[in-house]
Amino acid sequence: MDPLLLARLQFATTTSIHFLFVIVTLGLVALLVYLQTAWFITRNPEYERLTRFWGTLYVINYVLGIATGIVMEFQFGLNWSGLSRYVGNVFGAPLAMETLVAFFLESTFLGMWIFGWHRLRRGVHLALLWGVALTAYASAFWIMVANSFLQNPVGYEVRDGIAHLTDFSALLTNPTLGMALGHVVSAALLTGGMLMAGVSSWHLIRRTPDYALFRRSLRIGLVTATTASVFVLGFGFAQFPAISPVQPTKYGNSAAKDAIVADWVARFGPGDYTPPVLANVGLGFMILIGFALAWGVLLLPLLYRDWIIRLRFPLYLMLLAVPLPFVAAILGWLAREVGRQPWAAYGLLKVEDAVSPVSGGVLLTSFIGFTLLLGTLAVTNWVLMARNARRGAHDLALGRPPGDLDDHPEAPIGQPAVQPVLAR
Protein backbone atom coordinates (compact mmCIF):
# COMPACT_ATOMS: atom_id res chain seq x y z
CA MET A 1 0.00 0.00 0.00
CA ASP A 2 0.95 3.65 -0.45
CA PRO A 3 3.05 4.68 2.60
CA LEU A 4 1.92 8.31 2.29
CA LEU A 5 -1.76 7.37 2.35
CA LEU A 6 -1.26 5.11 5.35
CA ALA A 7 0.68 7.79 7.23
CA ARG A 8 -2.05 10.34 6.56
CA LEU A 9 -4.78 7.92 7.63
CA GLN A 10 -2.91 7.11 10.80
CA PHE A 11 -2.37 10.78 11.62
CA ALA A 12 -6.04 11.56 10.97
CA THR A 13 -7.17 8.68 13.17
CA THR A 14 -4.90 9.35 16.11
CA THR A 15 -5.42 13.10 16.19
CA SER A 16 -9.19 12.81 15.75
CA ILE A 17 -9.55 10.43 18.68
CA HIS A 18 -7.22 12.48 20.87
CA PHE A 19 -9.08 15.68 20.00
CA LEU A 20 -12.31 14.20 21.36
CA PHE A 21 -10.64 13.80 24.75
CA VAL A 22 -9.25 17.33 24.58
CA ILE A 23 -12.56 19.11 24.03
CA VAL A 24 -14.18 17.20 26.91
CA THR A 25 -11.25 18.09 29.18
CA LEU A 26 -11.38 21.78 28.29
CA GLY A 27 -15.15 21.95 28.54
CA LEU A 28 -15.58 20.12 31.82
CA VAL A 29 -12.71 21.81 33.66
CA ALA A 30 -14.29 25.24 33.10
CA LEU A 31 -17.60 23.97 34.48
CA LEU A 32 -15.81 22.39 37.44
CA VAL A 33 -14.20 25.73 38.23
CA TYR A 34 -17.65 27.32 38.30
CA LEU A 35 -19.11 24.58 40.50
CA GLN A 36 -16.33 24.54 43.08
CA THR A 37 -16.11 28.34 43.16
CA ALA A 38 -19.87 28.46 43.80
CA TRP A 39 -19.42 25.91 46.58
CA PHE A 40 -16.59 27.94 48.09
CA ILE A 41 -18.68 31.13 48.09
CA THR A 42 -22.11 29.76 49.05
CA ARG A 43 -21.10 26.63 51.01
CA ASN A 44 -24.14 24.99 49.42
CA PRO A 45 -23.56 21.20 49.66
CA GLU A 46 -25.24 20.70 46.29
CA TYR A 47 -22.31 22.40 44.60
CA GLU A 48 -19.90 20.16 46.46
CA ARG A 49 -21.64 16.99 45.29
CA LEU A 50 -21.83 18.30 41.73
CA THR A 51 -18.12 19.13 41.84
CA ARG A 52 -17.35 15.61 42.99
CA PHE A 53 -19.68 14.02 40.41
CA TRP A 54 -18.45 15.96 37.38
CA GLY A 55 -14.92 15.88 38.72
CA THR A 56 -15.03 12.08 38.59
CA LEU A 57 -15.94 12.14 34.90
CA TYR A 58 -13.30 14.76 34.25
CA VAL A 59 -10.53 12.72 35.91
CA ILE A 60 -11.46 9.60 33.92
CA ASN A 61 -11.34 11.52 30.65
CA TYR A 62 -8.11 13.32 31.58
CA VAL A 63 -6.16 10.19 32.51
CA LEU A 64 -7.10 8.27 29.37
CA GLY A 65 -6.69 11.41 27.29
CA ILE A 66 -3.08 11.72 28.42
CA ALA A 67 -2.53 8.14 27.25
CA THR A 68 -3.92 8.95 23.79
CA GLY A 69 -1.69 12.03 23.64
CA ILE A 70 1.41 9.95 24.30
CA VAL A 71 0.39 7.50 21.58
CA MET A 72 -0.16 10.40 19.17
CA GLU A 73 3.30 11.79 19.90
CA PHE A 74 4.85 8.40 19.11
CA GLN A 75 3.19 8.18 15.71
CA PHE A 76 4.18 11.77 15.00
CA GLY A 77 7.85 10.98 15.49
CA LEU A 78 7.68 7.66 13.66
CA ASN A 79 5.78 8.76 10.56
CA TRP A 80 6.72 12.39 9.99
CA SER A 81 10.48 12.66 10.38
CA GLY A 82 10.67 14.89 7.30
CA LEU A 83 8.43 17.45 8.99
CA SER A 84 10.46 17.31 12.21
CA ARG A 85 13.73 17.68 10.33
CA TYR A 86 12.65 20.62 8.17
CA VAL A 87 10.52 22.75 10.52
CA GLY A 88 11.24 21.15 13.89
CA ASN A 89 13.30 24.13 15.06
CA VAL A 90 10.21 26.33 14.70
CA PHE A 91 7.33 23.91 15.18
CA GLY A 92 8.98 22.30 18.19
CA ALA A 93 9.19 25.48 20.28
CA PRO A 94 5.45 25.83 21.06
CA LEU A 95 5.15 22.04 21.41
CA ALA A 96 7.89 22.12 24.05
CA MET A 97 5.97 24.83 25.91
CA GLU A 98 2.82 22.73 25.72
CA THR A 99 4.63 19.71 27.10
CA LEU A 100 5.94 21.68 30.08
CA VAL A 101 2.48 23.07 30.78
CA ALA A 102 0.43 19.93 30.25
CA PHE A 103 2.65 17.15 31.51
CA PHE A 104 4.17 19.00 34.43
CA LEU A 105 2.14 21.93 35.73
CA GLU A 106 -1.35 20.75 34.79
CA SER A 107 -0.80 17.17 35.91
CA THR A 108 0.78 18.34 39.17
CA PHE A 109 -2.10 20.67 39.97
CA LEU A 110 -4.64 17.98 39.14
CA GLY A 111 -2.93 15.36 41.30
CA MET A 112 -2.83 17.73 44.25
CA TRP A 113 -6.50 18.60 43.67
CA ILE A 114 -7.54 14.93 43.56
CA PHE A 115 -5.70 13.97 46.74
CA GLY A 116 -6.13 17.29 48.50
CA TRP A 117 -9.80 16.93 49.42
CA HIS A 118 -10.23 17.45 53.19
CA ARG A 119 -6.45 17.82 53.57
CA LEU A 120 -5.97 21.34 52.24
CA ARG A 121 -7.63 24.61 53.05
CA ARG A 122 -10.72 25.18 50.96
CA GLY A 123 -9.19 28.22 49.28
CA VAL A 124 -5.98 26.38 48.45
CA HIS A 125 -7.94 23.43 47.08
CA LEU A 126 -9.99 25.75 44.88
CA ALA A 127 -6.83 27.52 43.69
CA LEU A 128 -5.45 24.18 42.54
CA LEU A 129 -8.48 23.62 40.32
CA TRP A 130 -8.09 27.11 38.89
CA GLY A 131 -4.48 26.15 38.19
CA VAL A 132 -5.63 23.01 36.37
CA ALA A 133 -8.00 25.05 34.21
CA LEU A 134 -5.54 27.81 33.40
CA THR A 135 -2.78 25.39 32.44
CA ALA A 136 -5.25 23.33 30.37
CA TYR A 137 -6.16 26.38 28.34
CA ALA A 138 -2.52 27.43 28.14
CA SER A 139 -1.78 23.98 26.72
CA ALA A 140 -4.49 24.47 24.10
CA PHE A 141 -3.01 27.86 23.26
CA TRP A 142 0.45 26.46 22.54
CA ILE A 143 -0.96 23.61 20.46
CA MET A 144 -2.86 26.13 18.36
CA VAL A 145 0.29 28.24 18.02
CA ALA A 146 2.10 25.20 16.59
CA ASN A 147 -0.79 24.30 14.32
CA SER A 148 -1.13 27.87 13.08
CA PHE A 149 2.50 27.81 11.97
CA LEU A 150 1.68 24.82 9.76
CA GLN A 151 -1.32 26.71 8.41
CA ASN A 152 0.69 29.88 7.77
CA PRO A 153 4.47 29.61 8.32
CA VAL A 154 5.82 32.83 9.84
CA GLY A 155 8.78 33.97 11.92
CA TYR A 156 11.39 31.76 10.25
CA GLU A 157 14.16 31.70 7.68
CA VAL A 158 15.55 28.75 5.77
CA ARG A 159 19.26 28.11 6.20
CA ASP A 160 21.03 25.03 4.85
CA GLY A 161 17.70 23.52 3.87
CA ILE A 162 16.22 23.80 7.39
CA ALA A 163 13.75 26.35 8.76
CA HIS A 164 15.06 28.27 11.78
CA LEU A 165 13.00 30.38 14.18
CA THR A 166 13.86 34.07 13.88
CA ASP A 167 10.83 35.85 15.36
CA PHE A 168 8.96 34.15 18.19
CA SER A 169 6.48 37.01 18.44
CA ALA A 170 5.39 36.31 14.87
CA LEU A 171 4.14 32.90 15.99
CA LEU A 172 1.97 34.56 18.65
CA THR A 173 0.49 37.09 16.21
CA ASN A 174 -0.12 34.65 13.38
CA PRO A 175 -3.36 35.71 11.61
CA THR A 176 -4.57 32.10 11.58
CA LEU A 177 -4.28 31.81 15.39
CA GLY A 178 -6.67 34.17 17.19
CA MET A 179 -10.05 33.30 15.74
CA ALA A 180 -9.16 29.60 15.48
CA LEU A 181 -8.26 29.51 19.18
CA GLY A 182 -11.52 31.22 20.09
CA HIS A 183 -13.39 28.73 17.91
CA VAL A 184 -11.75 25.73 19.60
CA VAL A 185 -12.31 27.08 23.12
CA SER A 186 -15.95 27.84 22.36
CA ALA A 187 -16.40 24.38 20.85
CA ALA A 188 -14.96 22.82 24.01
CA LEU A 189 -17.35 24.79 26.23
CA LEU A 190 -20.22 23.81 23.95
CA THR A 191 -19.20 20.16 24.24
CA GLY A 192 -18.86 20.31 28.03
CA GLY A 193 -22.19 22.09 28.37
CA MET A 194 -24.01 19.62 26.13
CA LEU A 195 -22.47 16.69 27.98
CA MET A 196 -23.61 18.15 31.30
CA ALA A 197 -27.09 18.92 29.99
CA GLY A 198 -27.42 15.49 28.36
CA VAL A 199 -26.36 13.47 31.41
CA SER A 200 -28.59 15.62 33.63
CA SER A 201 -31.49 15.07 31.24
CA TRP A 202 -31.01 11.32 31.46
CA HIS A 203 -31.28 11.41 35.25
CA LEU A 204 -34.30 13.71 35.16
CA ILE A 205 -36.06 11.47 32.62
CA ARG A 206 -35.50 8.50 34.92
CA ARG A 207 -36.59 10.55 37.95
CA THR A 208 -33.56 9.55 40.00
CA PRO A 209 -33.41 10.60 43.67
CA ASP A 210 -30.88 13.35 42.87
CA TYR A 211 -33.52 15.52 41.20
CA ALA A 212 -32.36 18.81 42.75
CA LEU A 213 -28.73 18.19 41.82
CA PHE A 214 -29.37 17.37 38.19
CA ARG A 215 -31.96 20.11 37.86
CA ARG A 216 -29.19 22.53 38.78
CA SER A 217 -26.58 20.97 36.49
CA LEU A 218 -29.11 20.86 33.64
CA ARG A 219 -29.50 24.62 33.89
CA ILE A 220 -25.75 25.21 34.07
CA GLY A 221 -25.05 22.90 31.14
CA LEU A 222 -27.80 24.32 28.92
CA VAL A 223 -26.85 27.95 29.55
CA THR A 224 -23.18 27.15 28.90
CA ALA A 225 -23.90 25.22 25.70
CA THR A 226 -26.25 27.79 24.19
CA THR A 227 -23.95 30.70 25.04
CA ALA A 228 -20.93 28.85 23.65
CA SER A 229 -22.81 27.97 20.45
CA VAL A 230 -23.14 31.68 19.63
CA PHE A 231 -19.40 32.17 20.06
CA VAL A 232 -18.63 29.02 18.07
CA LEU A 233 -20.50 30.44 15.09
CA GLY A 234 -19.03 33.90 15.56
CA PHE A 235 -15.41 32.76 15.78
CA GLY A 236 -16.01 30.21 13.02
CA PHE A 237 -17.21 32.71 10.44
CA ALA A 238 -14.61 35.26 11.56
CA GLN A 239 -11.89 32.86 10.39
CA PHE A 240 -12.79 33.23 6.72
CA PRO A 241 -11.44 36.78 6.25
CA ALA A 242 -8.38 35.91 8.37
CA ILE A 243 -7.50 32.71 6.49
CA SER A 244 -8.38 33.71 2.91
CA PRO A 245 -5.38 36.04 2.37
CA VAL A 246 -2.82 33.53 3.70
CA GLN A 247 -4.44 30.36 2.32
CA PRO A 248 -6.00 31.42 -0.97
CA THR A 249 -6.32 27.84 -2.19
CA LYS A 250 -8.62 27.08 0.72
CA TYR A 251 -11.03 30.02 0.83
CA GLY A 252 -9.49 32.74 -1.36
CA ASN A 253 -10.78 34.14 -4.66
CA SER A 254 -9.96 32.58 -8.04
CA ALA A 255 -7.41 35.21 -9.05
CA ALA A 256 -5.40 34.74 -5.85
CA LYS A 257 -5.60 30.96 -6.21
CA ASP A 258 -4.33 31.03 -9.79
CA ALA A 259 -1.46 33.33 -8.89
CA ILE A 260 -0.18 31.27 -5.98
CA VAL A 261 -0.63 27.96 -7.80
CA ALA A 262 1.43 29.33 -10.72
CA ASP A 263 4.15 30.31 -8.23
CA TRP A 264 4.11 26.86 -6.65
CA VAL A 265 4.36 25.15 -10.04
CA ALA A 266 7.42 27.24 -10.79
CA ARG A 267 9.02 26.45 -7.41
CA PHE A 268 7.91 22.88 -6.69
CA GLY A 269 6.95 21.53 -10.09
CA PRO A 270 3.60 20.46 -11.56
CA GLY A 271 1.04 18.92 -9.20
CA ASP A 272 -2.46 19.11 -7.81
CA TYR A 273 -2.46 22.06 -5.42
CA THR A 274 -6.22 22.13 -4.92
CA PRO A 275 -7.55 20.95 -1.52
CA PRO A 276 -9.74 17.81 -1.63
CA VAL A 277 -13.51 18.19 -1.78
CA LEU A 278 -13.65 16.42 1.60
CA ALA A 279 -12.54 19.62 3.32
CA ASN A 280 -15.50 21.65 2.05
CA VAL A 281 -17.94 18.82 2.72
CA GLY A 282 -16.79 18.59 6.33
CA LEU A 283 -16.99 22.36 6.67
CA GLY A 284 -20.57 22.42 5.38
CA PHE A 285 -21.82 19.75 7.75
CA MET A 286 -19.99 21.36 10.67
CA ILE A 287 -21.78 24.65 9.99
CA LEU A 288 -25.13 22.86 9.83
CA ILE A 289 -24.51 21.22 13.20
CA GLY A 290 -23.43 24.56 14.64
CA PHE A 291 -26.69 26.22 13.60
CA ALA A 292 -28.69 23.22 14.85
CA LEU A 293 -27.09 23.47 18.29
CA ALA A 294 -27.57 27.23 18.37
CA TRP A 295 -31.33 26.62 18.22
CA GLY A 296 -30.91 25.43 21.80
CA VAL A 297 -31.35 29.07 22.78
CA LEU A 298 -35.08 28.49 22.29
CA LEU A 299 -35.00 26.09 25.23
CA LEU A 300 -33.76 28.73 27.66
CA PRO A 301 -37.24 30.26 28.31
CA LEU A 302 -38.43 26.77 29.27
CA LEU A 303 -36.18 26.91 32.33
CA TYR A 304 -38.84 29.17 33.85
CA ARG A 305 -40.85 27.17 36.40
CA ASP A 306 -39.06 24.02 35.18
CA TRP A 307 -41.15 23.72 32.02
CA ILE A 308 -38.15 22.16 30.35
CA ILE A 309 -38.51 19.23 32.78
CA ARG A 310 -42.29 19.13 32.89
CA LEU A 311 -42.63 18.91 29.11
CA ARG A 312 -39.99 16.14 29.07
CA PHE A 313 -39.47 16.18 25.29
CA PRO A 314 -36.72 18.88 25.59
CA LEU A 315 -34.87 16.46 27.87
CA TYR A 316 -34.89 13.85 25.12
CA LEU A 317 -33.68 16.45 22.60
CA MET A 318 -30.71 17.37 24.77
CA LEU A 319 -29.86 13.73 25.41
CA LEU A 320 -29.91 12.95 21.68
CA ALA A 321 -27.84 16.06 20.90
CA VAL A 322 -24.86 15.00 23.03
CA PRO A 323 -22.93 13.38 20.10
CA LEU A 324 -23.37 16.40 17.80
CA PRO A 325 -20.55 18.60 19.21
CA PHE A 326 -18.15 15.67 18.87
CA VAL A 327 -19.12 15.10 15.24
CA ALA A 328 -18.80 18.83 14.52
CA ALA A 329 -15.35 18.90 16.15
CA ILE A 330 -14.04 16.14 13.90
CA LEU A 331 -15.54 17.76 10.81
CA GLY A 332 -14.00 21.09 11.75
CA TRP A 333 -10.60 19.49 12.24
CA LEU A 334 -10.87 17.85 8.81
CA ALA A 335 -11.81 21.16 7.22
CA ARG A 336 -8.79 22.90 8.78
CA GLU A 337 -6.22 20.17 8.19
CA VAL A 338 -7.33 18.60 4.91
CA GLY A 339 -7.97 22.08 3.51
CA ARG A 340 -4.26 22.87 3.45
CA GLN A 341 -3.33 19.80 1.40
CA PRO A 342 -1.03 18.94 -0.28
CA TRP A 343 1.05 20.85 2.26
CA ALA A 344 2.34 19.75 5.65
CA ALA A 345 3.46 23.35 6.18
CA TYR A 346 1.48 25.55 3.83
CA GLY A 347 3.53 26.65 0.84
CA LEU A 348 6.73 25.48 2.51
CA LEU A 349 6.82 21.68 2.82
CA LYS A 350 4.70 19.18 0.89
CA VAL A 351 3.18 16.21 2.70
CA GLU A 352 5.01 13.74 0.49
CA ASP A 353 8.32 15.28 1.63
CA ALA A 354 7.31 15.26 5.29
CA VAL A 355 6.60 11.53 5.61
CA SER A 356 9.23 9.16 6.98
CA PRO A 357 11.04 6.91 4.47
CA VAL A 358 9.50 3.63 5.65
CA SER A 359 7.79 0.84 3.75
CA GLY A 360 4.07 0.41 3.30
CA GLY A 361 4.14 -2.82 5.32
CA VAL A 362 5.66 -1.12 8.33
CA LEU A 363 3.18 1.74 8.14
CA LEU A 364 0.26 -0.67 7.74
CA THR A 365 1.33 -2.55 10.85
CA SER A 366 1.78 0.73 12.71
CA PHE A 367 -1.59 2.02 11.53
CA ILE A 368 -3.46 -1.10 12.67
CA GLY A 369 -1.65 -1.23 16.02
CA PHE A 370 -2.08 2.44 16.87
CA THR A 371 -5.72 2.46 15.76
CA LEU A 372 -6.56 -0.57 17.89
CA LEU A 373 -4.79 0.92 20.89
CA LEU A 374 -6.45 4.31 20.58
CA GLY A 375 -9.81 2.72 19.85
CA THR A 376 -9.48 0.64 23.00
CA LEU A 377 -8.64 3.74 25.06
CA ALA A 378 -11.60 5.63 23.58
CA VAL A 379 -14.07 2.81 24.24
CA THR A 380 -12.70 2.35 27.77
CA ASN A 381 -13.08 6.04 28.42
CA TRP A 382 -16.69 6.21 27.32
CA VAL A 383 -17.65 3.00 29.11
CA LEU A 384 -16.15 4.26 32.38
CA MET A 385 -17.68 7.71 31.96
CA ALA A 386 -21.10 6.27 31.09
CA ARG A 387 -20.97 3.86 34.03
CA ASN A 388 -20.10 6.60 36.50
CA ALA A 389 -22.57 9.04 34.95
CA ARG A 390 -25.35 6.47 35.20
CA ARG A 391 -24.49 5.73 38.83
CA GLY A 392 -25.41 9.26 39.82
CA ALA A 393 -24.10 11.57 42.52
CA HIS A 394 -24.18 9.14 45.43
CA ASP A 395 -21.30 6.99 46.69
CA LEU A 396 -18.69 9.17 44.99
CA ALA A 397 -15.09 8.17 45.58
CA LEU A 398 -13.66 11.55 44.60
CA GLY A 399 -13.69 13.87 47.59
CA ARG A 400 -15.22 11.34 49.97
CA PRO A 401 -14.74 12.49 53.57
CA PRO A 402 -12.38 10.32 55.65
CA GLY A 403 -14.29 7.52 57.36
CA ASP A 404 -17.45 8.13 55.33
CA LEU A 405 -19.42 4.93 54.68
CA ASP A 406 -16.54 2.74 55.84
CA ASP A 407 -16.48 3.44 59.57
CA HIS A 408 -20.17 4.37 59.76
CA PRO A 409 -22.15 1.99 57.53
CA GLU A 410 -25.42 3.19 59.05
CA ALA A 411 -25.07 6.54 57.33
CA PRO A 412 -27.41 7.14 54.36
CA ILE A 413 -25.82 6.64 50.97
CA GLY A 414 -24.25 9.81 49.69
CA GLN A 415 -24.37 11.58 53.08
CA PRO A 416 -21.30 11.84 55.32
CA ALA A 417 -21.71 10.03 58.62
CA VAL A 418 -19.50 12.62 60.27
CA GLN A 419 -19.02 16.15 59.07
CA PRO A 420 -15.57 16.55 57.49
CA VAL A 421 -13.29 18.86 59.34
CA LEU A 422 -11.73 21.28 56.88
CA ALA A 423 -8.93 23.58 57.85
CA ARG A 424 -10.18 27.11 57.88
Do the beta carbons of residue 222 and residue 296 sit within 8 Å? yes
DSSP-assigned beta bridge partners for residue 349 = 345
Predicted local confidence at residue 405, as pLDDT = 46
The whole-number pLDDT of residue 358 equals: 87
Q: Are residues 199 and 287 both part of a single domain? A: yes
Mean pLDDT, the chain, rounded, equals 89
CB-based burial label for 84 (10 Å; 0-12, 13-18, 19+): middle
352 and 422 in a common domain: no
Do residue 285 and residue 422 come from a single domain? no
| 323/292 Cα distance (integer angstroms) | 13
Whether residues 217 and 268 share a domain: the answer is yes
Burial zone of 301 (CB within 10 Å; 0-12 exposed, 13-18 middle, 19+ buried): exposed
410 and 352 together in one domain:
no
Q: What is the pLDDT of residues 359-402, one digit of tens each?
A: 889 889 989 998 999 999 999 999 999 999 999 888 888 988 87
For position 368, what pLDDT does the model report?
Answer: 92
Q: Same domain, yes or no, for 221 and 314?
A: yes
pLDDT reported for residue 250: 84
Evaluate if residue 408 carries a pLDDT over 50: no
SS (H, E, C) 398-411: CCCCCCCCCCCCCC
Please report how the helices 3-42 and 360-391 are oriented relative to each other, as an axis angle in degrees rounded to 10: 20
pLDDT of residue 376: 94
CB-based contact 46:213 (threshold 8 Å): yes
Mean predicted confidence (pLDDT) in 10-36? 94
Indicate if the pLDDT at residue 419 is higher than 50: no
Query: What range defines the domain where residue 418 resides?
Result: 394-424
- 403: confidence class by pLDDT, cuts 50, 70, 90: low
Which residues, listed in sequence order, are joined to residue 159 by a DSSP beta bridge?
Answer: 162
Same domain, 239 and 326: yes
Q: Give the 3-state secondary structure of residue 156.
A: strand
d(CA 340, CA 83): 15
The residues with which 351 forms a beta bridge, in sequence order, are: none
Q: What percent of the chain has pLDDT over 70?
A: 95
Residue 214 has pLDDT above 50, yes or no: yes
Residue pair 194/23 in contact (Cβ under 8 Å)? The answer is no
> For residue 419, is it within any domain?
yes
**Whether the predicted pLDDT of 276 surpasses 90:** no
**What is the pLDDT, as a whole number, of residue 407?**
44
Higher pLDDT, 123 or 72: 123
Statement: residue 406 has pLDDT above 80: no
For residues 226 and 277, what is the distance between their CA atoms, to the nearest angstrom? 30
Same structural domain for residues 287 and 222?
A: yes
Nearest C-alpha neighbor of 362 from the set 48, 75, 23, 27: 75
Contacts of residue 138, defined as CB under 8 A and 6 or more positions apart, other chains included, come to 101
Q: Which of 70-79, 88-97, 156-165 has the lowest mean pLDDT?
A: 70-79
348 and 407: one domain?
no
Instruction: Please compute the mean of the pLDDT values over residues 267-274 and round it to a whole number.
Output: 88
Q: Does residue 223 belong to any structural domain of this protein?
A: yes
Task: Identify the pLDDT of residue 404.
Answer: 62
Which helix (DSSP H) or strand (DSSP E) does residue 406 occupy?
Answer: none
- Asked if residues 191 and 262 have their Cβ atoms less than 8 Å apart, the reply is no
**CB-side neighbour CA atoms (13 Å) of 87:** 28
Predicted confidence band of residue 414 (pLDDT cuts 50, 70, 90): very low
Q: Same domain for 183 and 302?
A: yes
What share of the chain in percent tops pLDDT 90?
A: 65
pLDDT at 97 over 80: yes
What total of structural domains would you count in the chain?
A: 2
